[in-house]
Amino acid sequence: MIPVILSGGSGSRLWPVSRSSYPKQFWPLVSRRTMVQETALRSQGPGFADPIIVCNNEHRFAMAEQLKEVGITAPRILLEPVGRNSAPAIAAAALLAAETDPDAVLWVMAADAAIQKPENVASALDIAVRVARAGRIVTFGMTPTRAETGYGYIEKGAPLAGYDGAYSVARFVEKPDAANATRMLQSGQFLWNSGMFVFTARTMLQEMEKYEPAILTAVRQAVQDRRSDIDFERLDATAFASSPDISIDYAVAERTGLMTVIPGDFGWSDVGSWDALWELGPRDGHGNVTIGDVAVFNTSNSYVRTDGILTAVTGVEDLLVVVNDDAVLVTHRDHAQDVKAIVSQLKKDG
Ligand code: GDD
Ligand code: MG
């Protein structure tokens, strides 16, 4: 199986640590290793080929260095001249893999998700590979805990005969509005899309040809005309830029009849916001997470992190406090999602 790591997001809700020049996947947020290192290490060992990484040209050195640091010395790093979202990135990886073996099984992962129960992933992967070889597209379904509107929802269909633990997908709904998210949560019939997919290169390319042929036209050209050196494979800029900008969820997952879900208890989190990091913990007896040179008094259920100067907090609850070399963020936990808006405002103001 070929691990494919997508590293394209800018993680703006994790400002001021995550910046577009050095986004969240390159930071140690949930362990001593960076998110991309944790992700890459998850797919090492017997049964795994060297990973294909798809990332922005701007991040090439950080990527290569961080992988080398954890002993991953022969990744194939595909560089995008511009981001065109996850569908073209996946198409590029599938086309690259298909050059050697069109029936290669790919395991697509986000560079920036946390998995706290990796021991449960292996058995799910075994089934996923078998299902993928049968020409289907697998996603892992996570039990939803809130009416999140930023995720994909999967309605579990009938069990897939012959594949214990796998189900057909009755419906895939990407990023529902709040009312629909609440309805789907309450129905108990839906799982969250983890954003990890398992399929053969052949199957994915066939479905893209069917639903988004313009992506394939552009990306096929970009892969064909790529420039390779020892460390990187650079997709052709003009060709790649001409691809539609669309995520795999809208391009394929919502439309294909081949979707399959394997429910899993992975301790999965997409680490999208500071509040998600507070939830991941570890929390002390007062529900606080403290990282770095931090002092807290009379404080509860808060996340206080400093990557620089001593930071003291007293007499507050449910706060997120993040101190960096050149910026400080203070917000209520209920407003963790607003950080994205602050960042775009700050960018506008220059
Ligand atoms: N290389 C590359 N290029 N990677 C990209 C690009 C791109 O242009 N755009 C996004 N990615 C990567 C991100 O870095 C991330 O690893 C993954 O693809 C998913 O993209 P996000 O932008 O984070 O998607 P999302 O969080 O809105 O939604 C997706 O993930 C959710 C779970 O975290 C969807 O798959 C949802 O259905 C899912 O629930
Ligand atoms: Mg995401």
pLDDT of residue 132: 98
- What is the 186 CA–ligand 1 centroid distance (Å)? 25
Q: What is the pLDDT of residue 97?
A: 98
| Ligand 1 atom closest to residue 54's alpha carbon, by position in its atom list | 1
Distance 298 CA to ligand 2 centre (A): 34
ipTM: 0.99
Q: What is the CATH number assigned to the segment(s) 2-269?
A: 3.90.550.10
pLDDT in tens, 104-140: 999 999 999 999 999 999 999 999 999 999 999 999 9
The ligand 1 atom nearest the CA atom of 112: 16
Query: What is the residue extent of each domain of the chain?
Result: 2-269, 274-349
Ligand 1 atom index nearest CA of 113: 33
| pLDDT over threshold 90, residue 347 | no
Q: Which residue carries 């552009």 as its tokens? A: 218
pLDDT at 350 over 80: no
Which protein residues are within 6 Å of ligand 1, measured from CB?
6-9, 54-55, 80, 83-86, 89, 110-112, 150-152, 174, 192-193, 195, 249, 270
Tell me which residue has its CA closest to atom 23 in ligand 1. Answer: 9
Q: What is the pLDDT of residues 242-290, one digit of tens each?
A: 999 999 999 999 999 999 999 999 999 988 899 999 999 899 999 999 9
Q: What is the mean pLDDT of the chain?
A: 95
144: burial class by Cβ within 10 Å (0-12, 13-18, 19+)?
Answer: middle
- pTM of the entire structure? 0.95
Q: Are 196 and 111 in contact (CB under 8 A)?
A: no
Question: Which pLDDT value is given to residue 21?
Answer: 86
Look at residues 290, 349, 346 and name the one whose alpha carbon lies nearest to residue 16: 346
In sequence order, the 6+-apart residues with CB closer than 8 A to the CB of 278 are: 289, 301, 302, 303, 320, 333
Structure tokens, 271: 């680490």
C-alpha of residue 312 to centroid of ligand 2, in Å: 31
